[in-house]
Structure 1
Amino acid sequence: MAGAAGLLSWLEATALAEAMRGSLWMYPIVEIVHITGFTILVGSVAMFDLRVLGFARSLPLQALGRHLLPWAVAALALIVPAGLMLFSAHPHDFASNKVFRLKLALIGAAGANAALFHFGVYRHAAGWNEGVRTPALARVQAAASLAIWIAVICCGRLLAYT
């Protein structure tokens, strides 16, 4: 535990962390970038999940996935560095915050759910690509994805109050 506290103290003393705390505009701008990226990511995931749940069955699922995946990856390229920058400003506060830790756990669960989906049932998506009801497991995973991402959004918003 002392190693983690030392790492957090080191991070808090970096020039980046000091700039995040000392600049009037840097923290809000980075937060806007983080939220914008998150909006793109969750929007892409939600559109795909809704299609898996049975909405817009006439849209080919695999084509929709190929279209949305680059947007989700690009969003991660905004979210991760911006999130690390935000974290650096107050690492001890975030690390000790139960809502923040829950948010990270939920993001991990969302990633695990996505990996299970893509390396599992989605490998056979050609059989239910268009006009066909998706398998029950795919629908369960899509519903779980939506629920998890909504919970992540709630945690992110609650961070301002905890």
Structure 2
Amino acid sequence: MDQLGDSSLALAMRSELWLYPLVEVVHIIGFSILVGAVVMFDLRVLGLSKGIAVTALARHLLPWAIAALLLIVPAGLLMFSAHPHDFAGNNVFILKLYLIAAAGLNALLFHVGTYRSVQQWNTGHKAPGLAKAQALVSIVLWIVVILCGRLLAYT
């Protein structure tokens, strides 16, 4: 952890006036794209816009979510490197990581399980109860992740 905090990248993140805020903006933009894509998909699973095929929406939104991760992860690592001891000991940060892991696991379980039957509820039909529950859990998890991210500025 000391080695990370003493790295030239970490030093630049702490000393260059606009670098940390710029990286933070990239992180927030990435999260906006990711959570926007996830919530739009989850709302479709919950029954909104039944005329749009779930599979078509998934094909459209998944590349956006993946692109967002390419912004979020490096930016998050850069911000972490600036103050690794502070973040590693911060309960809000730790909770945020657990919630992200839970959201990822929820998405994985959805895609390897419930989504396999999507052709039965793809367009014009209600999604099964489990799919709706997973969509609702997803939305709640991502909202709490965002709240944790905002709380980090105050802890």
Which stretches of structure 1, 4 residues or longer, exceed 3 Å deviation after superposition? none
| Equivalent residue number for residue 158 of structure 1 | 151
| Equivalent residue number for residue 139 of structure 1 | 132
Normalised TM-score (structure 1): 0.95
Task: Kindly indicate whether residue 37 of structure 2 is the aligned counterpart of residue 44 of structure 1.
Answer: yes
Once the two structures are superposed, what CA deviation does each residue of 1:70-106 show, in whole Å capped at 9, x if it has no partner? Answer: 0000000000000000000000000000000000000
| Equivalent residue number for residue 106 of structure 2 | 113
- Equivalent AA in structure 2 for residue 85 of structure 1: L
Structure 2 unaligned runs (5+)? none
Q: Choose which of 12, 35, 38 in structure 2 pairs with 1:19.
A: 12
Structure 1 unaligned runs (5+)? 1-7
In structure 2, distance between residues paired with 1:45 and 1:113: 12
Q: Cα distance, 1:43 vs. partner?
A: 0.1
- Equivalent AA in structure 2 for residue 29 of structure 1: L
| Equivalent residue number for residue 64 of structure 2 | 71
SS at match of 1:99: helix
Task: Kindly indicate whether residue 82 of structure 2 is the aligned counterpart of residue 54 of structure 1.
Answer: no
In structure 1, distance between residues paired with 2:48 and 2:54: 11
Work out the percentage of aligned pairs sharing the same amino acid: 63
CA RMSD of aligned residues (A): 0.3
